[in-house]
Amino acid sequence: MQNRAEIVDRNFIQRVQTGNLPAGSVQLSLEQAGLTAIQLVELFDSQLLSRHLDLCSRKLQARGESFYTIGSAGHEGNAAVAAAFRHDDMAFLHYRDAAFLIQRARQTPGETPLWDMLLSFAASSEDPISGGRHKVLGSKSLYIPPQTSTIASHLPKALGAAYSIPLAKRMQHQGELPHNGVIVCSFGDASANHSTAQGAINTACWTAYQKVPLPLVLVCEDNGIGISTRTPGGWINASFSQRPGLHYRYADGLNLLDTYRAAKEAERLARNYRQPVFLHLGCVRLLGHAGSDAQNAYLSREQIEAGEAQDPLLHSARLLLELGILRADQIVARYQETDERVARVAELAIQRPKLTTAGEVMASLVPPTRHPKPSRLINDTERDALFAREKSMLEQPQHLARLLNWALADLMASHPEIIMMGEDIGPKGGVYNVTSKLSEKFGSHRVINTLLDEQSILGLAIGAAHNGFIPIPEIQFLAYVHNAEDQIRGEAATLSFFSKGQYSNPMVIRIAGLGYQKGFGGHFHNDNSFNVFRDIPGVIVACPSNGSDAVEMMRECVRLAREEQRVVVFLEPIALYMTRDLHSEGDGLWTTLYRDPGQAQPIRLGQLHQQGEGRELAILSYGNGYYLSRQAVALLEAEGVQLRIIDLRWLAPLNESAILDAISGCEHLLIVDECRRTGSLGEQLVTLVTERLKQPPKLSRISAEDSFISLGRAATATLPSRDTIVAAAKALLTPTQPTATSPSDQRTDRENQQ
């Protein structure tokens, strides 16, 4: 029994030979469209290659040689979109845009899209974009970052990249993208309904409405169905044609002339006027959603055949015949020659090497190190101007929030490529004043007040990083990141992995979080779980417990982003922002003097802090837990306990060898974890100690209850405290009382003790 792929393949030849071709909805001449006959044939050839790659992929999958069959059949008209833009207009592509990539490759000498895409189908380690890690559409030389998204999660970063282009021009920043460039971002009609797409498009409108330049073309390829769910007729037009600040253009995506005409108009608006455009293309979907999709379960045979009758390749053949450019036999010959060429090259591609070891797979999790311009230490005159209003305070010990503010000011002064973005971070200075006066010192173009949308904040950061900026986005509260965690997990953290380190989006994500707030609480402001970051490969999580560490760790985080292209989460304990005292009111023991960059005492990734050398007890903690443990230590030492206390500082990845060295020789180990008991960092630490040490210390763990945090006086009821830490330490140090035993057992116990 023939499958639909075989039917579509056979029908093309038969219908061209018999002249049974679909009627066109738009009548345009080559001149009206802005194309030549040679260019139209070239677009058709790109369509043919895309189609035969789809057909070949399904044949190879049946042989166990290809592993991804979501194809582009029905969407091949996007070749005309590619032709309308320059090859250095960065494109974030829909997964049905193979023809776009093929056509763009024709604009750059030396490209081999057929070979490259077949290597990707075969998951070969020689695949030039992902190295066999995924079938993705991407190319460094073609300015196409790889996308694995099927839910439009690439729209926020496309928006960010578009925003960064005019920003770079204003700042005279030589980034990765030309100052007159445009960003292209394509997606499907079903994806347009996703909250991520809706948020990004709303942000584009919000930005453009304020006359902020945004050279962005959003290409919605509307085939009328999302897997099996129909898009209501007219829905995309009704949803997006009247949006403020957004130019809307429609084209028949089955007609290369109309598609090219509309795409050139979109390109002109975006490039010349720096305004966002929504380009709506009418398409069809052929061959189902993917190779495994049995579309006859939800579509009738008549519906399937009606879609196949509108095959865009048939429409292109009609244009070529009507315009007298090619004869029917020449069209069929090109089709068959492409089929034979793809099949021949495929047999070579499937023989190429594959990834075989965990090390090979993981090799691109961490981007390669780069060598940016060295840091510039500002001179005394510049420093006096930068800190003119804080001069007297610089001579006094300060709390974490103010010290971090000064560190950020120094970093922005030394690195003009640093930009910040977030809700209320501008003139207000953020909820906790950490970004106070930075907007005044560096301007609103570098300290960007955003709308209230965490996905757009992180997308702005990711996109700006594509253009050579070092973004420091702020998420106002830890609980708010869950609205946008896929921007970190599915976009930022995967980019190096799926591009063999060719693309990266380094950044330092500042997040205020953890518990123990006073006077302003509840779960959404006291969130004591950061597990969302701990299981994302390649992401670094830093958590300072005091202002001195915050300064040096932020400097290290920026170095990691600039030099090692890392994605870093900088978790700031809210309750310690303004904390000055440790043991008693007025002791000032949790404040320190600010050390400027010239006096820096670097804290490198994974570097712990240890206080004390006692071997009777080691306390291992971080953040608020370390602060409370320091209070507990004073009480324990007063009772003669010989101990040491260790601040982890870096929570992911853990520096396992340093941790084991720090507790080496200790008789007892108490792990103090302010996060929830289940799935917490404490569990990982217990596992580390028990698995890696032949003779682990007697250990205990104190953590928060598996609960959300309440408001008011009960806000700390579920969390560790100074007194519960002391009690846990004493219980750990107390010898275990023997249970009732027989006289012979008691005698054996005494003998063992002797």
The answer for residues whose C-beta is within 8 angstroms of residue 477's C-beta and 6 or more apart is 511, 512, 513, 524, 525, 527, 574
Using 50, 70 and 90 to split pLDDT, how confident is the model at 520?
low
> Which pair of tokens denotes residue 654?
């853990």
> What pTM does this model have?
0.94
Does residue 678 surpass a pLDDT of 90?
Answer: yes
Q: Which pLDDT does position 685 carry in this prediction?
A: 97
pLDDT average, residue stretch 615-623: 98
Does residue 747 surpass a pLDDT of 80?
Answer: no
Q: Which pLDDT does position 738 carry in this prediction?
A: 52
Distance (Å, whole) CA 211 – CA 275: 9
Q: How many CB atoms are located within 10 Å of the residue 229 CB?
A: 9
Using 50, 70 and 90 to split pLDDT, how confident is the model at 59?
very high
Residues 540-569 have pLDDT tens digits of 999 999 999 999 999 999 999 999 999 999
Q: Which pLDDT does position 748 carry in this prediction?
A: 34
Orientation of helix 4-18 relative to helix 312-322, angle to 10°: 10
Thinking of the domain 380-599, which architecture would CATH place it in? Answer: 3-Layer(aba) Sandwich (3.40)
294: left (phi over 0), alpha (psi -120 to 50) or beta: beta
DSSP state at residue 367: P
DSSP state at residue 596: P
Q: How many CB atoms are located within 10 Å of the residue 150 CB?
A: 17
- Which residue from 151, 275, 137, 141 is spatially nearest to 217, judged by alpha carbons? 275
Residue keyed to tokens 């965990």: 358
Q: Which pLDDT does position 291 carry in this prediction?
A: 76
Pick from 243-247, 286-290, 681-685: least confident: 286-290
**Identity at 236, one-letter amino acid code:** I
Residues 169-212 have pLDDT tens digits of 999 999 999 999 999 999 999 999 999 999 999 999 999 999 99
> Which pair of tokens denotes residue 45?
């050839």
Residues 688-717 have pLDDT tens digits of 999 999 999 999 999 999 999 888 888 899
pLDDT average, residue stretch 83-105: 97
CATH 3.40.50.920-classified regions of the chain: 610-733
The mean of the pLDDT values for the chain is 94
CATH 3.40.50.970-classified regions of the chain: 4-356, 380-599
Distance (Å, whole) CA 506 – CA 372: 12
Share of the chain above pLDDT 90, in %: 88
Distance (Å, whole) CA 304 – CA 679: 48
Residue 438's H or E segment, with its range, is helix 438-442
Pick from 420-434, 476-490, 517-531, 574-588: least confident: 517-531
Pick from 178-187, 289-298, 445-454: least confident: 289-298
Distance (Å, whole) CA 140 – CA 463: 15
CA Rg value for the chain: 30
Distance (Å, whole) CA 298 – CA 507: 44
Helices (H) and strands (E) in the chain, counts: 28, 21
Overall CATH class of domain 610-733? alpha beta
Does residue 1 surpass a pLDDT of 70?
Answer: no
Residue keyed to tokens 């073309």: 217
- Which residue from 233, 240, 140 is spatially nearest to 200, judged by alpha carbons? 240
Residue keyed to tokens 């003139």: 427
pLDDT average, residue stretch 389-399: 94
The answer for residues whose C-beta is within 8 angstroms of residue 664's C-beta and 6 or more apart is none
Using 50, 70 and 90 to split pLDDT, how confident is the model at 742?
very low
Q: How many CB atoms are located within 10 Å of the residue 693 CB?
A: 14
Q: Any long-range contacts for 22-28 (C-beta under 8 Å, 24+ apart)?
A: 22/254, 22/309, 22/310, 22/311, 22/314, 22/315, 22/318, 24/252, 24/255, 24/315, 24/318, 24/319, 25/252, 25/254, 25/255, 26/252, 26/255, 26/257, 26/258, 28/255, 28/257, 28/258, 28/261
Residue 688's H or E segment, with its range, is helix 681-692
Q: Which pLDDT does position 741 carry in this prediction?
A: 38
Please, what sign has the CA dihedral across residues 620, 621, 625, 630? positive
Tell me the CATH number for domain 4-356: 3.40.50.970
> Which pair of tokens denotes residue 530?
């950061």
